[in-house]
Amino acid sequence: GINAEYGEGWELIEPTIEELDAKMREHETEPHEGKRKVEALWPIFKIHHQKSRYLYDLYYKRKAISKELYDYCIKEKIADANLIAKWKKDGYERLCCLRCIQVRDTNFGTNCICRVPRSKLDQIKIVECVHCGCRGCSG
């Protein structure tokens, strides 16, 4: 049906959004023993990314949802407008999170290690961003 607030198609995306929200709540209430504080946040970052990616793909790639529904999801912060804006730019299509491109948050005033192309990294070394756990999103 059509809801004036979010347009048509909510019933198609609702199960996925609810499933991701439930996963997020699960991780938020999970005990954090044995994990560094930042590591406990990684699954939450991943789910936040998944929700935004899901809506981005539906709207921009597959044209499967209306602009009204997409705008509603942005307005309600179901998807991250700033992250999606970056995905539309060359070289940022797979960006994990905004923090990883903010040079002021890194030790050396450079992009996060996960933004370094794989070809430029030592093949043996496992790269893991301390902020979100990303293992490489530069392509």
Q: What share of the chain is helix, strand, coil (3-state, %, to 5)?
A: 55, 5, 45
**Model pLDDT, residue 1:** 47
DSSP 8-state assignment for residue 108? T
Please tell me the distance from the alpha carbon of residue 111 to that of residue 131, in angstroms, as a whole number. Answer: 12
Tokens representing residue 85 in the block: 């804006």
**Model pLDDT, residue 100:** 86
- 42-98 pLDDT tens trace: 999 999 999 999 999 999 999 999 999 999 999 999 999 999 999 999 999 999 988
Checking if the pLDDT of 13 tops 70, the result is yes
- 98-123 pLDDT tens trace: 888 886 655 566 678 888 887 887 76
Please provide residue 84's backbone torsions phi and psi, each rounded to the nearest 5 degrees: -60, -40
